[in-house]
Amino acid sequence: MTLRKTALALAGLCFGMLAAGPAPAADPPTASRTLAGIRARGSVVCGVQNDNPPFSLPDSQGQWRGMDVDSCRALAAATLGDAAKVTIRPITGLTRFPSLQSGEVDVLFGSTTWTTTRESALGLIFAGANYYSGQGFLVHSRLGVKTLKELDGASVCVPPGSTTELIMQDWARKNGVSFQPVVIDDPNQIQSTFLSGRCDAFTRDLTGLSGFRSRQGKPEAYTLLPEFISMEPLGAFIRKGDDGWLDIVRWTQLALVAAEQMGVTAGNAADQAASANPDIRRLLGAEGEVGPSMGLEKGWALAAIRAVGNYGEMWERNVRPMGLERGNNRLWDQGGLMFAPPLR
């Protein structure tokens, strides 16, 4: 009797669903307000640090170069079809977050580390890593310092408004030493202050310190200590509340990594669109609807890859000349942390 009642109830439910008609289609994804603004303006505005190789630095012709600049150019190619349609806005440690929060920039790079409170308290969200680094220390070679603990009591040039000072002080507390921070926001001023000898050491991400040292007339006058005291994913931040823009920024970066995984380069990308490999075809827009699902053209990733190359090509162009190994920035199957989920 119970089984018969259950069957009747299920039949009634099915009849009611049929009578009501088919379920309404899911709402289409909300269009990105940021993307609409970019298209109306005709350029992607990116916040980057000045004099910050290999991430961002104007060359002798005044053209911006670096990993962050390439990431910005890839976004312009993906959204506007033209990598040249970028506006680079220099920021500092103190101005970077207000610049993004106010809408002055569409996306913030600036060697900015992914942390909890930057998402939970500042109304921002980390869109993806384009570099894994760690905090290091550069000292004057004349001091004879070989390890970080030998810097006990030393003065250290450090930028404000960043994780750098907090990580440094936390490390000092854990290891029973003390540092005297000399806090300076202007990138040029903090570098000149260290070079003048006012600071015993200069701390920031290890890659940036390597680039700074390599540009000095006598690099041997400065020693990069072997320790680094943090593991920091650096990359793009955007404002919370625009999921469509988050998709675009995140997946454009991942597309460059996926291209390296698949052997797609700036030079062969156009030909690879005819590949029999379905993953390559989806990446390059020859099949599937990945681009349109984000409000972009089918060839969004193809445009980005042709503009700046894959992630490995970006590395070779911007970082390799500094003599740095890829380390954690190798692809996952080569022992690194870089990988791209399926684009489909």
Return the domain boundaries, the chain. 33-133+234-323, 134-231
Query: What pLDDT score does 32 carry?
Result: 95
pLDDT at residue 8 above 70? no
The pLDDT of 155-175, averaged and rounded, is: 88
The beta strands (E) that lie in 21-103 are given as 44-49, 57-58, 64-65, 86-91
Tens-place pLDDT, residues 209-246 = 888 898 899 999 999 998 889 888 999 999 999 999 99
The pLDDT > 70 percentage for the chain reads 91
pLDDT at residue 26 above 80? no
Tokens of 230: 């943090």
Query: What pLDDT score does 16 carry?
Result: 43
- Name which of 265, 234, 47, 207 is nearest 129 in CA terms: 234
Query: What pLDDT score does 30 carry?
Result: 62
229/125: higher pLDDT: 125
- Name which of 94, 98, 96 is nearest 56 in CA terms: 96
Tokens of 136: 């290091």
Query: What pLDDT score does 1 carry?
Result: 39
Are 33-133+234-323 and 134-231 equal in CATH topology? yes
- pLDDT band per the 50, 70, 90 thresholds, residue 29: low
Tens-place pLDDT, residues 100-123 = 999 999 999 977 889 999 999 999
- pLDDT band per the 50, 70, 90 thresholds, residue 148: very high
Q: How far is residue 317's CA from residue 319's CA, in Å, rounded to a whole number?
A: 6
Phi then psi for 48, rounded to 5 degrees?
-140, 160
Tens-place pLDDT, residues 282-331 = 999 999 999 999 999 999 999 999 999 999 999 999 999 887 889 899 99
Q: How far is residue 284's CA from residue 275's CA, in Å, rounded to a whole number?
A: 10
Q: Ramachandran region of residue 330, left (φ > 0), alpha (ψ -120 to 50) or beta? A: beta
pLDDT at residue 176 above 60? yes
DSSP 8-state class, residue 52: B
Query: Domain 134-231's class?
Result: alpha beta
Query: What pLDDT score does 257 carry?
Result: 98
Per-residue b or e along 189-201, where b marks 16 or more CB atoms closer than 10 Å to that residue's CB: ebbebbbeeebbb
**How many beta carbons lie within 10 A of that of residue 166, not counting itself?**
12
Q: How far is residue 317's CA from residue 173's CA, in Å, rounded to a whole number?
A: 39
Terminal-to-terminal C-alpha distance of the chain: 49
**Type of residue at 329:** N
pTM: 0.81
Q: How far is residue 94's CA from residue 108's CA, in Å, rounded to a whole number?
A: 13
Cβ–Cβ under 8 Å, residues 49 and 90: yes
The pLDDT > 90 percentage for the chain reads 74
- pLDDT band per the 50, 70, 90 thresholds, residue 204: confident
Instruction: Kindly state which CATH superfamily the domain 33-133+234-323 is placed in.
Output: Periplasmic binding protein-like II (3.40.190.10)
Query: What pLDDT score does 215 carry?
Result: 84
**How many beta carbons lie within 10 A of that of residue 218, not counting itself?**
7
pLDDT at residue 2 above 70? no
